[in-house]
Amino acid sequence: MAPGIKDKVAIIGMGCTRFGERWDMGPEDLMVDAFKEALEDAKIEKKDIQAAWQGGPEFVAVSLGDSACPLAETLKLPYIPVTRVENMCASGSEAFRAACYAVAAGACDIAMALGVEKLKDTGYGGLPEFSHYSTIGTKNRIIGANQTAPGMFAMLATRYFMRYGISPQDGKKMLAAVSAKSHHNGALNPKAHLRREVTIEQIVNAPIVAWPLGLFDCCGVSDGSAAAIVCRADMAKQFRSDPVYVKSLQIAATSGAEQMYTDYDYTHVETTTRASERAYAEAGIKNPRDEISMSEVHDCFSITEAVTMEDLQFSPRGKVMDDIMSGRFNLDGAQPCQPDGGLKCFGHPIGASGIRMIYEMYKQLQGKADKRQLKNPKYGLTHNLGGIPYRSVVSIIIVGH
């Protein structure tokens, strides 16, 4: 087996804008804000960055569209290699992975990944209609069901409830607990979009978006940007005393079997399972339930977070309800999930989310998470899911001391 990325790359600076309906800010402004914070945090200058990767935007193109020019032009990067990467909702993590690989390969010493998305320029509540963008594919537009993200994830819940004999009422309560927990955390985070506590009762009684998912089962729709500066691990201490080290970078893309082959059970996400198994092996983690201190997972919908807990081996198959209801994933629980409020409260500016997740793990590991600070976290895991349960790309990133 290849030796992997563990401890070869360190994060020395990060930036993250306030996420939300940033009506007053264009994507360029958001990029500059994230970049500025990351530079200041790393205490380096722009000329020190030798290569950069841009994640997103998926929907509203900036300047020269689907290229690296938006990042290079906006930040006036001095003719360094810049590349735009695209892997649906996992694009931010993909940009981070590319920057880390460049450093680990010795192609450069310091690299940057920046993700950005300006969803509130699309005119939609929820993600824009896929068929208006290249995201769905020309054939899919004709033969794919007319469906939206909440509906495609709702089908996980339909099948999950049925498979494990959970009544729709109990199932909705379980999902409501997922969202209520994240709202609690988001309320503590000045960078979050949605900063209000919400009760289980409010969540359960909210209007249905795609049965059985209601309004509060869905993440927010936001603008935002986040950036990470990475360098060779052996250099990291030159820049700061508390760098955060990359322990694992894994992605898994669907083989097509979940969509077209009848083995897939619709109660889990295969790519999460596969990517996390490899990530644990790369990071040397034997027992994820005990060893992973905290996680930021892709809670685009409450059901996604619930099944992800099982895919990541945090909860046994079919048993996540027990862990959710007992508060295992709460801020004061044994294995906090979404300490920053998650996609639920940050919303999901597609290209930015993956790096925003790492931002929270980075701050927690440095002890700088303020009211949300967890006690002595060792390993933080981010899970960034691109696509839909049966056609997905999943990134798992593990960071630690």
Partner 1 sequence: MVGITSYGAYIPLQRINRKIIFNATGWSASATSLPGEKAVANYDEDSVTMAVAASIDCLTDIDRNKVGGLYFATTTPPYRERQSAGIIATALDLRPDVRAADFTDTVKAGTQALLAACDAVKAGSEKNIVVCASDCRLGRPGSAQEVIFGEGGAALMVGDTDVIATLEGSYTLTYDFSDQWRADGEKFNRIWEDRWVRDEGYTKFIPEAINGLLKKYKLTIKDFAKVIIPCVYLREHQGIAKALQLDEKQVQKEMLTTVGDTGTANSLMMLVAALEDAKPGDKILVTSYGNGSDAMFFQVTEHIEKARNRRGIKKHLASRKDLANYERYSSFRDVIPMEAGFRGEVGPTRLTLAWRERKVILALCGARCKHCGTPQYPYQRVCVNPKCGKIDEMEPYRFSDKKAKLFSYTADSLAYSVSPPEMYGVLDFEGGGRYAFNITDCEMNSLAVDMLMEMSFRRKYVDNVRGIHGYFWKAVPPRA
Nearer to partner 1, 107 or 260 (CB): 260
The 8-class DSSP code of residue 365 comes to: H
Nearer to partner 1, 3 or 123 (CB): 123
SS3 318: coil
Check if the beta carbon of residue 303 is closer than 8 Å to that of residue 213. yes
**Residues 47, 76, 138, 287: which binds partner 1 (CB under 8 A)?**
138
**Residues 148, 248, 353, 366: which binds partner 1 (CB under 8 A)?**
148
**Dihedral sign (CA 228, 232, 233, 237):** negative
CB of 21 to partner 1, least distance (A): 17
Mark the segment that binds partner 1 (CB under 8 A) among 43-51, 92-100, 150-158, 363-371: 150-158
C-alpha to C-alpha distance for 212 and 123, rounded to whole angstroms: 26
* 108 carries an active-site annotation: no
Nearer to partner 1, 262 or 287 (CB): 262
**Residues 10, 155, 221, 350: which binds partner 1 (CB under 8 A)?**
155
Q: Check 183, 184, 298, 348 and give the catalytic one.
A: 348
C-alpha to C-alpha distance for 251 and 276, rounded to whole angstroms: 8
The answer to whether 167 contacts partner 1 (rule: CB under 8 A) is no
Per-residue exposure over 137-164, b if at least 16 CB sit within 10 Å of its own CB, e if not? eeeeeeeeeeebbbbbbbbbbbbbbeee
What residues between 236 and 265 interact with partner 1 by CB under 8 A? 255-257, 259-264
The answer to whether 154 contacts partner 1 (rule: CB under 8 A) is yes
The answer to whether 150 contacts partner 1 (rule: CB under 8 A) is yes
Q: Which amino acid is at 37?
A: E
**Residues 168, 208, 367, 370: which binds partner 1 (CB under 8 A)?**
208
* 401 carries an active-site annotation: no
Half-sphere exposure at residue 207, Cβ-oriented, CA atoms within 13 angstroms: 1
Q: Which amino acid is at 81?
A: P
**Residues 16, 52, 95, 156: which binds partner 1 (CB under 8 A)?**
156
CB of 218 to partner 1, least distance (A): 9
The 8-class DSSP code of residue 128 comes to: P
The answer to whether 131 contacts partner 1 (rule: CB under 8 A) is yes
**Residues 35, 53, 216, 390: which binds partner 1 (CB under 8 A)?**
390
Nearest to 333 by CA among 299, 292, 286: 292
Half-sphere exposure at residue 47, Cβ-oriented, CA atoms within 13 angstroms: 0
Half-sphere exposure at residue 200, Cβ-oriented, CA atoms within 13 angstroms: 11
Q: Check 16, 89, 108, 345 and give the catalytic one.
A: 89
Residue recorded with tokens 């820049």: 239
Nearer to partner 1, 13 or 220 (CB): 220
The tokens describing 15, both together, are 């930036």
Nearer to partner 1, 2 or 142 (CB): 142
Per-residue exposure over 294-315, b if at least 16 CB sit within 10 Å of its own CB, e if not? bbbbbbbbbbbbbbbbbbbbbb
**Residues 1, 24, 145, 332: which binds partner 1 (CB under 8 A)?**
145
Mark the segment that binds partner 1 (CB under 8 A) among 53-61, 70-78, 154-162, 168-176: 154-162
Q: Which helix (H) or strand (E) holds 111?
A: strand 110-118
The answer to whether 151 contacts partner 1 (rule: CB under 8 A) is yes
What residues between 32 and 61 interact with partner 1 by CB under 8 A? none
C-alpha to C-alpha distance for 310 and 289, rounded to whole angstroms: 10
SS3 211: coil
CB of 206 to partner 1, least distance (A): 12
The answer to whether 164 contacts partner 1 (rule: CB under 8 A) is no
Strand partners, 251: 395
Catalytic annotation, residues: 89, 348
- Interaction site with partner 1 (CB under 8 A): 123-126, 128-129, 131-132, 138-139, 141-148, 150-152, 154-156, 158-159, 162, 207-213, 255-257, 259-264, 266, 390
